[in-house]
Structure 1
Amino acid sequence: MRRDDLCHAIRQRLERLPEPYAAHYGVVPPPPPEDAVPLGQGLASHQRATEALARIDMLAGQMGDPYPVSRLLSRREAVSSSSIEGTHSTLDELLTLEEEAGNERRDAARQVRDYALILDRLVPQAAAQGPAIFTRELIAELHRGAMRSDPDYGDIPGVLRDRVVWIGGVRDIAYSLYNPAPPARVPACLDDSIAYLRAEGMQVMTQSLITRMAIAHAYFEAVHPYRDGNGRVGRLLLPLMMAADGKVPLYLSPYIEAHTSAYYDALKAAQQRLDWAPMVAFIADAIIGTVDELMATRGALVRLGGMWRARRRYRDKSAALRALDLLPDYPVITAGRLGERLGVSAPAANTAIAQLVEAGVLVERTGYRRNRVFVAQEVLRVLNRPFGAEPIVD
């Protein structure tokens, strides 16, 4: 970590690291700012992001659903956030893992599944509890959920680090870009992070939600309270902050994965120079891009549903017809899952699936006689497209 890269206020917060790294210093970051943050050239992005949030809130109100296309967007979030940290799985693999009970798949898929399940459980809790949800125990719970299936994690998931870590430089701290605080200072810094998340200061009066998301995320990454998994936990905090603020939670990791260079540049500006504007602008652009992507995805799935209905005639209120509304959320599905979600018997679910296979809506992928898994491949094609690409429905 080069001192010349650090602003004066950060250089004032340097503290010698413990042995065997006593020749180096870590940053004990000052508490997150509570005053208004100058946005500079990011002001235009901030305004457009505010408008994008209003659009998605209006959509949620029209649908009567606070989480539009929620299940699959949260799972795409899990895939992307994990991929940023080098844990690679696919949406298809994750959805298949969730359907095939007892199937022992590789560690990466289990890690991504755990990430998605955290969102399923905690986003509604954040909406119900508001900022009070942010506690030390919540942060530990997020980390336990994100890291419990990682066979290479050397510490106990959820337990704060007791060793020196650094960012960049691979295995040699001499080439690091940033050295987080010494282990002994981590608890106090984490408390500052939590107090900011809980909006216990003036920031709720002086800063927008978008600004607070940017600052909270960059600050948490600067504290780096765990040996590994900090990025995943920090990105989990973003939709939780939105839900706690009464907004529709957006999942920003697919945008971040598509713009990793700008993401790390913005983090570096905040952590090394206390220049928050690039991070606010990045989060604003991520919100804009994510809302545009969500709208395009939803529009494509609506068109796809119309195409499915035109392929054959369905009996009114039949399980097969009702299944067409379920498949955008469950494009990888078993007869048991279909029967459970629709509240129909096993024979009725099997009949519905046979009709959907005949219509080309579903394809059986296992070749088994029992425990078969069916896939709506056209849904996966929409969801698996590169971020920002136009969805193809034909």
Structure 2
Amino acid sequence: MLPALPPVARLETAVVLKSVVEARAALAALDQAARRMSNPAVLLNSIPILEAQASSEIENIVTTTDDLFRFADTDSDLASPETKETLRYRAALFAGLHSIQTRPLSATTAIDICSTIHRRDMDVRTLPGTIIANPATRRAIYTPPSGAAVIREKLANWADFLHDPDDLDPLVKMAVAHYQFEAIHPFTDGNGRTGRILNILVLVANELLQEPILYLSRYIIAHKEEYYRLLLDVTREAAWEPWVLYMLDAVRGTARATLAKIDAIQVLQAKVRDEIRTTSAGSNSDFLDVLFEQPYCRISNVVARCKVSRPTATKWLHELVVAGVLEDHKVGRERLFINREFFEVLVRDDPDDL
């Protein structure tokens, strides 16, 4: 039987509190850097896509970053089913953010998120959950709760824990709540992805981040075996401290990595701004913005954003192709202009942070 929250064990040990301080400092630095950006859409349009890709990959839904950015703002039949499903993760994240602006995070939030991911109405399981077994002995290690009424009761307890005005740090609460949600396993599918979106919502709801710019699933991908091992250790041994420390390390590492991306993006923006000034676009700031809101740019994007004619937009983009700033690709009837250096900054991993 899955115990109710809060856990009996002491959660905020000395080593956990030390890690909390470091993780919160990294988050604060990231949040401040993001607030200073002249165009927040640069991060809001890219980090959630990377998070969606990594979180989906954990569930063996694999697509390329190239395809995700290419089809991010289109409903093209050319996109693979995996690409479309991964982009629904991003849609679910933003739907969750919109939801918590008007009502507290709850089981309903989780149901709505899971429904968006699957593009159909989801509800809590009525069937037994997947039994987790030892791969060698095939004996059951953990069986999730069964029965819709029991699952709803567990989710209500999970939500109460999140909103309990106790002295637990929100980062510790996030770690504990993530374990509990995955242990409840409320849906027939999509529990992992829904749970990872809920992590980001907890941070935003507690004002540790203003926007969903933490690429948390990146850390889990890099430490996937440890992630599942520590989840099971909580189940079998109530080993809360190693699990909480893992999640705090994930927050700290990905916050620092994202901060490094912001620094690299700003250096590249300055470089491209200088290149634009040598073209007929001059010092058009909207043109610079549109080149960094997505690494893939269409002529129609420049026309709409910069309020210029199609021939003018085409000329501006072509001049940057000649200057080596952009790459010009013809895909079907469409021309795509790729800000390759920006793309490389976004997808580059820094192992020192992981």
For the pair 1:219 / 2:184, whether they are aligned, the reply is: no
Q: Which residue of 2 aligns with 1:39?
A: 13
Give 1:183 shift. Answer: 2.5
CA distance in 1, matches of 2:139, 2:78: 40
Cα distance change, pair 79–121 in 1 and its aligned pair in 2 (3 A):
same
Matched, 1:271 2:242: no
How far apart in 2 are the matches of 1:316 and 1:327? Answer: 13
Structure 1: state its 5+ residue gaps: 1-26, 149-155
* Shift in CA distance, 64/336, structure 1 to aligned 2, threshold 3 Å: closer
Name which of 113, 127, 136 aligns with 1:163. 127
Aligned equivalents of 2:9 and 2:2: distance in 1?
20
Aligned to 2:115: 144
Report the Cα offset of residue 140 of structure 1: 1.2
Deviations 1:334-381 (A, max 9, x none): 11123333344433322222222222222122254x422221111121
* Consecutive unaligned residues in structure 2, runs of 5 or more: none
2:337 paired residue among 359, 364, 374 = 374
Q: 1:239-258 maps to which residues of 2 (within 5 A)?
A: 239-248=200-209, 249=212, 250-258=214-222
Shift of residue 233, structure 1, vs aligned partner: 0.4
Q: What's the RMSD between the two structures over aligned residues?
A: 2.8
What letter matches 2:203 in structure 1?
Answer: M
| Match in the other structure for 1:388 | 351
User: How much identity, in percent, do the aligned residues show?
Assistant: 28
CA distance in 2, matches of 1:40, 1:275: 15
Q: d(CA) in 2 for partners of 1:355 and 1:125?
A: 43
Aligned residues: 348
Going from structure 1 to structure 2, the CA distance change for 1:259 and 1:387 (only over 3 Å counts) comes to farther
TM-score (normalised: structure 1)? 0.79
The 1:337–1:65 alpha-carbon spacing in structure 2 relative to 1, beyond 3 Å, is closer
- TM-score (structure 2 length as normaliser): 0.88
* Correspondence 1:90 to 2:64: yes
Contact map agreement 1:29 1:222 (CA 8 A) in 2: no
Distance 1:359 1:177, change over 3 A: farther
Q: Are 1:286 and 2:250 matched, yes or no?
A: yes
C-alpha separation in 1, matches of 2:246 and 2:172: 10
Mapping for residues 1-394 of structure 1, pairs under 5 Å: 27-33=1-7, 37-63=11-37, 69-126=43-100, 128-129=101-102, 132-148=103-119, 157-169=121-133, 174-184=138-148, 185-197=150-162, 199=163, 201=164, 204-248=165-209, 249=212, 250-311=214-275, 313-315=278-280, 318-319=283-284, 322-368=286-332, 370-388=333-351
The answer as to whether partners of 1:255 and 1:387 remain within 8 angstroms in 2 is: no
Contact 2:95-2:113 at 8 Å conserved across structures: no
Q: CA deviation at 1:229?
A: 1.0
Deviates more, 1:250-259 or 1:55-64: 55-64
Whether the 8 Å contact between 1:32 and 1:219 is mirrored in structure 2 is no
Change (3 A) 1:29 1:79: same
Are residues 364 and 273 of structure 1, via their aligned partners in 2, closer, same or farther at CA, if it must alter by over 3 Å?
same
Q: Judge which range, 63-72 or 183-192, deviates more.
A: 63-72
Amino acid at match of 1:44: K
1:143-183 CA distances to partner (integer Å, 9 max, x unpaired)?
A: 011223xxxxxxx6512112122353399994343211122
Between the aligned partners of 1:293 and 1:277, the Cα distance in structure 2 is 24
Give the deviation of 1:65 after TM superposition: 7.1
Q: C-alpha distance in 2, partners of 1:388/1:280?
A: 21
